[in-house]
Amino acid sequence: MKVLVPVKRVVDYNVKVRVKSDGTGVDIANVKMSMNPFDEIAVEEAVRLKEAGIASEVIVVSAGVAGCQETLRTAMAIGADRGILIESDADLQPLAVAKLIKAVADKEQPQVVIFGKQAIDDDSNQTGQMFAALQGWPQATFASKVVIADGKATVTREVDGGLETLEMALPAVVTTDLRLNEPRYATLPNIMKAKKKPLETVKPEDLGVDVAPRLKTLKVAEPAKRQAGVKVADVADLVSKLKNEAKVI
Amino acid sequence: MAILVIAEHDNQSLKAATKNAVTAAAKIGGEIHVLVAGSGCANAAAEAAKLAGVAKVKVADAAHYADQTAENIAALVVANAAGYSHIVAPATTNGKNFAPRVAALLDVAQISDIVGVESADTFVRPIYAGNALATVQSADTVKVITVRTTGFEAVAEGGSAAVEAIAAGPDLGKSKLVSRELTKSERPELTAAKIIVSGGRGLGNGENYKTLLEPLADKLGAALGASRAAVDAGFVPNDYQVGQTGKIVAPQLYIAIGISGAIQHLAGMKDSKVIVAINKDPEAPIFQVADYGLVADLFEVVPQLAAAV
């Protein structure tokens, strides 16, 4: 059974991005780029399925600029077997990415595709669900536990009120939530090994996918800044201010 | 132009998030219809009919909608999409689950988590954990939108829309609910609470979280929340999490206790009306957004606060 994991290259979790002064976007020149944290969890889960003897091969795929090769190498250092880069300099939006991944899935025929639930740059939370819809496959989003057995996936999901568990036949889509696992650190020998693993590059045109963006960003602005308030001396002072000044209790 | 709002409900009653989504729909402008898909959901539909500005409530009542599985709900929405210029759902875990499926099946983009409506095709949404606000314009014929509930007031009651039964779609049988463990709590729901008491890593462990924060929350009638650090450390379940990848809240009063204030946490609560921070580290970033900061040992002052309110 093959497992496919789409991974996205994003501005690192620890970088506080700055809006460009001309309002055209955020400044990502010379900032540290990393794998989207939810995708790292997805790669880890797939690698664990392989280590447990459930998956036979873990394939990682990334759509974007040439630099995504690094993201794929990171995934292979965690334990993925090979990588596919869909190289494009275009603004790739979730629907386009879902179509690109579909083209790859049609060729590779994975039984499980594990996505991160959302990318921490555009915060869209769409691609996994869109891919599942295009394939007509079941989906289990926001997973905190995944069990694959007997041609079925049993997935516990993080929902607003607590947890729910769904059961579905394979092939299926899973999107990861934070508590699914804790991704391992890639060791130096594995980083070296990852450099020798196969990495294929294709173009959206090769896959016959139209990636023209559907949404046009007119402007990117800084949100209104919250003014820092005052320091209170003690609990009595705080309670008095909440009661008399803010009038919220 | 007509707008279809997909109701969030638990079959018995309508969830508050639906009311914020209706307000967003009203800002877009056009006749508003609400779709209630569920099982034995007549009561939820009746509540939807009372929302101001709603012209019609469509009800699809069938056993296979009881659990709101994304495959069945999305297929139903798509089957009923004709004639609507906008399909709007609240950006809850449920809305986020099915709405992108609807968009993909209609071959249109989804506009996630909007916090503002500029015009019928232009919307404002946060990106990068709310560190930037993007204004985006959609060229698609149908706009599929999820609404960040804190971005819009809840619509008032006072409507009396017609309730119309519509045909259910087939049960696709793609996924099946095995079990549901919902956190039982007498406290208000996190996303609807007026006051939230939230704890972070500074509390040290789950026992301290309970013994220190619960009495305070009880006194204030507050909901309990937590930072990702507290969830990761296992103090509380994940559905307590406030932040970029957890819940987005905007209560009247948010009390952050032992929370340092990582940008991912601030993303989830910085629109609160009044923020109180209690932390022993005067340099903690949470103080940069707090209206009232108390630099103190939380183990000492939280019980005092619970006694004083």
- The DSSP annotation for B221-277 comes to T-EEEE-HHHHHTTSS-GGGBBSTTSB----SEEEEES----HHHHHHHTT-SEEEE
What is the pLDDT, as a whole number, of residue B1? 84
The pLDDT score that the predictor gives to residue A30 is 92
**Predicted local confidence at residue A145, as pLDDT:** 98
Is A140 in the B-facing interface, judged by CB distances under 8 Å? Answer: yes
B81 and B12 in a common domain? yes
Instruction: Let me know: does B3 contact B31? Beta carbons within 8 Å.
Output: yes
- Tell me the residue type at B47: E
Q: Is the pLDDT at A146 greater than 90, yes or no?
A: yes
Chain A contact set for B231 (CB, 8 A): 178-179
Share of chain A above pLDDT 70, in %: 100
Q: B157 and B261 share a domain?
A: no
How many A×B Cβ pairs under 8 Å? 254
> Token pair of A1, please?
């059974």
Q: Is residue A121 situated within a structural domain?
A: yes
Least confident window among A30-34, A203-207, B187-191 = B187-191
> Are both B299 and B245 inside the same structural domain?
yes
- Say whether B177 and A26 touch across the interface (CB within 8 A): no
Residue type, B94: N
Same domain, B105 and B244: no
In this structure, the answer to whether residues B215 and B145 fall within a common structural domain is no
B92 and B151 co-located in one domain: yes
The answer on B297 and B211 residing in a single domain is: yes
Q: Kindly report the average pLDDT of chain A as a whole number.
A: 97
Q: Are residues B104 and B195 in the same domain?
A: no
Domain that holds residue A68: 2-244
In a domain, A249, yes or no: no
Please say which residue of B100, B132, B165 terminates a domain. B165
Examine the domain organization and report whether B118 and B218 are in the same domain.
no
CB contact under 8 A, B270 and A226: yes
d(CA B9, CA B44): 7
Q: pLDDT tens across A56-111, in order?
A: 999 999 999 999 999 999 999 999 999 999 999 999 999 999 999 999 999 999 99
A134, pLDDT greater than 90? yes
The verdict on residue B181 lying in a domain is no
Report yes or no on A79 lying in a domain: yes
pLDDT along chain B (309 residues), means of 10: 96 96 98 98 98 98 98 98 98 97 98 98 96 97 96 95 98 97 87 95 97 97 96 93 93 98 94 97 96 98 97
Q: Is residue A58 part of a domain?
A: yes
Is residue B173 in some structural domain?
Answer: no
Residue B107 has φ and ψ, to the nearest 5°, of 55, 45
Residues of A in contact with B20 (CB under 8 A): none
Q: Provide the domain count of chain A.
A: 1
CATH number at residue B220: 3.40.50.1220
Residue A238 forms part of a structural domain: yes
Counting the structural domains of chain B, the total is: 2
Residue A231 pLDDT: 96
- The pTM assigned to this predicted structure is 0.94
| pLDDT value of position A228 | 80
Task: Please state the ipTM of this predicted complex.
Answer: 0.95
What residue type is B48 in one-letter code? A
Residue A170 falls inside a structural domain? yes
State the smallest CA–CA distance between residue A201 and chain B in angstroms. 26
| pLDDT band at A227; cut points 50, 70, 90 | confident
Q: Are residues B30 and B151 in the same domain?
A: yes
- Mean pLDDT computed over A225-236: 92
Look at B100 and A133 and tell me if their CB atoms are within 8 Å: yes
Domain presence at residue B172? no
pLDDT of residue A186: 95
Print the domain residue range for B293.
Answer: 190-308
In this prediction, residue A161 carries a pLDDT of 85
Contact (CB<8Å) A223/B126:
yes
More confident residue, B183 or A44: A44
What pLDDT does residue A218 have?
Answer: 98
| pLDDT greater than 90 at residue A47 | yes
Interface of A with B in 182-241 (CB under 8 A): 214-223, 226, 228-232, 234-236, 238-239, 241
E strands of chain B, at which residues? Answer: 2-6, 31-38, 54-61, 86-90, 110-114, 116-119, 122-127, 132-138, 143-147, 162-165, 175-182, 195-199, 223-226, 253-257, 274-279, 292-295
H-state helical runs in A30-85: 37-51, 68-78
Region A12-20: mean pLDDT is: 93
Q: Are residues B131 and B198 in the same domain?
A: no
Q: The domain that contains A33 carries what CATH number?
A: 3.40.50.620
Residue B174 lies in a domain: no
Strands A152-159 and A139-149: antiparallel
Identify the CATH number of the domain in which residue B84 sits. 3.40.50.620
Q: Out of A132, A160, A228, name the one closest to residue B92 (CB).
A: A160
Quote the pLDDT of residue A138. Answer: 98
> Residue A238: its chain B contacts at CB < 8 A?
276, 292, 294, 305
Statement to judge: residues B14 and B132 lie in one domain: yes
Using CB atoms, which residue from A17, A161, A238 is nearest to B239?
A161
- The reply to whether residue A179 touches residue B179, judged by beta carbons under 8 angstroms, is no
Q: Is the pLDDT of residue A214 over 90?
A: yes
CB nearest to B97's CB, from A16, A141, A168: A141
The candidate with the shortest Cα–Cα distance to A114, out of A77, A88, A75, A150, is A75
Question: Which chain B residues contact residue A220 at CB under 8 A?
Answer: 127, 132-135
